[in-house]
Structure 1
Amino acid sequence: MKIVLDSVAKGPRDTALPATSVVFETGQAALSRAETEQRPTVLGLIASGRMRPDSGTVTIDGRTDFGAMRRRIALVDAPDVCEPAPDVTVAGIVAEELMFAGLASHPLAVRRRLAGLGAAEYARFAIGTVPPTVRIRLLTELALLRTGVEGVVIVSPDRHGGDPVEWWRFARELAGRGIAVLVVAGDASAAAIAASALVSRQFPAEEDASAPQTFDEDPGRDDTDDLFRPESGDLIVENS
Structure 2
Amino acid sequence: MLIQLTDVSKGRRGIALPATTLTYRSGRATLAMAETEQRPTVLGLIASGRMKPDSGSVLVDGARRSRDLRRRSALIDAPDVSEPAPNIIVAGVVGEELMFAGRLSDPLSARRWLDDHGLRHLSRTPFADVAPRDRLRILLELAALRPGVEALVLVSPDRHGGDPRDWWLLAEEFAGRGFAVLVIAGQAAARVISESPSSPRPRRRAPRVRAVSPGLRRRKDVTR
TM-score by length of 1: 0.83
Query: Quick one: distance in 2 between partners of 1:118 and 1:11?
Result: 44
CA distance in 1, matches of 2:48, 2:140: 14
Select the residue among 204, 210, 219 that pairs with 1:239.
204
What's the CA shift for 1:236? 4.5
Question: 2:215 matched to which residue of 1?
Answer: none
Which one scores higher on RCO, CA 8 angstroms, separation ≥ 6? 2
Aligned residues: 205
Offset at 1:118? 2.4
Preserved CA contact (<8 Å) 1:29 1:236: no
1: CA distance between counterparts of 2:201 and 2:114? 31
Q: For each residue in 1:35-82, what CA deviation from the matched residue of structure 2 results, as whole angstroms up to 9, or x when unmatched?
A: 000000000000000001111110000001110011101000001111
SS class of match (1:87) = coil
Compare CA radii of gyration and give the structure with the larger one: 1
The corresponding residue for 1:60 is 60
Does the 8 Å contact 2:10/2:53 carry over to 1?
yes
Check whether the contact 2:4–2:24 (CA below 8 A) recurs between aligned residues: yes
Work out the CA distance in 2 between the residues paired with 1:58 and 1:175: 21
Aligned counterparts of 2:20 and 2:79: Cα–Cα separation in 1: 20
Q: Does 1:138 align with 2:103?
A: no
Q: CA deviation at 1:107?
A: 2.4
1:68-87 pair list within 5 angstroms: 68-87=68-87
Cα distance in 2 for partners of 1:118, 1:53 equals 40
CA distance, structure 1, for counterparts of residue 115 and residue 20 of structure 2: 39
The answer for the alignment partner of 1:193 in structure 2 is 193
1:69-106 deviations in Å (ceiling 9; x for gaps): 11101000001111111000000011111122111122
| Amino acid of the structure 2 residue aligned with 1:164 | P
Of residues 97-106 and 69-78 in structure 1, the stretch that sits farther from structure 2 once superposed is: 97-106
- Residue 110 in structure 1 maps to residue 110 in structure 2: yes
1:93 corresponding residue in structure 2: 93
> Which residue matches 1:205?
none
SS at match of 1:152: strand
CA distance in 2, matches of 1:118, 1:176: 21
AA of the residue aligned to 1:96: E
Q: Deviations over 1:7-53 (max 9, x none)?
A: 11110110000111111100000000000000000000000000011
Matches within 5 A, 1:1-240: 1-197=1-197, 213=198, 215=199, 235-240=200-205
SS of the residue corresponding to residue 196 of structure 2 reads helix
CA distance in 2, matches of 1:171, 1:128: 21
5+ residue gaps, structure 1, are 198-212, 216-234
Q: Which consecutive segments of 4 or more residues in structure 1 shift more than 6 A?
A: none
d(CA) in 2 for partners of 1:36, 1:130: 24
What is the rounded CA distance, in whole Å, between the counterparts of 1:139 and 1:145 in structure 2?
A: 10
| Unpaired segments ≥5 residues, structure 2 | 206-224
| TM-score, with length taken from structure 2 | 0.89
Q: 1:239 is aligned with what amino acid?
A: R
Q: Is the 8 A contact 2:92 2:107 kept in 1?
A: no
Tell whether the 8 Å contact from 1:5 to 1:56 is kept in structure 2 after alignment.
Answer: yes
- Superposed CA RMSD: 1.0
